[in-house]
Structure 1
Amino acid sequence: MDERGFTLLEITITMAVLSLVFLLVFSLPTKATDHLTMEQTIYQIANDIIYAKEYAKTHTVTLGFTISTRDSYYVINRGNKEILKGYIPKEYTISTGFARNEFYINNSGGVNLFGSITLTDKDGKQIWLTTTITSGRVKVYLNE
């Protein structure tokens, strides 16, 4: 019997083990990826606030910005009409420094309350944004 080469069984087992190793290595999220996703989420919220300010100025209306900390989403509304709804990924919790988790944007783009919106990941790392009264300036703070 010739003993050169590998049997089909040996090749199959080797390929299965290598496939499992690659699957585990590439499917496990890294800390860097988690941090980038968290940054993208807070910047999306900031951009949506800026969009709401521009919408309010363009349409000369007052908009509400409401955050549901329990269900992890936020809504921009004009009275009973929903203008935009954004969802927070389930791996983060959202909290606010606003009374009743809401603020209003007037027809000149100003915000009626100073406050903050904070995202926290499962490791306790936080990233947040603030809004200023009157001007409605939105500032993101990265906790490096």
Structure 2
Amino acid sequence: MKSFPENQLLLETTTLRVRILKKRDMTKKEIAQNFLKLASGGNPRKAFELYVAEEFKHHNPYYKGDRETLMLGMEESHMESPNKVFEMLRALEDGNLVAVHSRVQQQGKDGWKGAVVHIFRFSNNKIVELWDIGQAVPDEIINENGLF
């Protein structure tokens, strides 16, 4: 056993490392992806509540350009195809813009399959504008690289 002079104190210290997890803001890319997960998964109302600004506008040619009309259209789409497959393949963020490339397969009457790109514009971490473009997967694909 090691001995120490009487006037010297031996202190043993244990350092406890505490990791504090700070709540961080979601990236715009994460917001866009979560919005699409909720909206395509049957809960567009929640998606709009959480992520979409009141002054939102969109450019889908099949609906009026306001927030409420698009949300109702998404709810209707889910009722027509509740088991739709929506798979996000790529997401890119650049400043206040996010683009998400996805594969979609409807289960309803038409069974539409296609590639969809959603482009989101953000202000103050809220979606303020949306463009969406879809391309049907043809029965015969000539390109050896496929659509995805």
Do Structure 1 and Structure 2 share a fold, with TM-score over 0.5?
no
Structure holding more helix per residue: 1
- When the two structures are superposed, what TM-score results if normalisation uses the length of structure 1? 0.31
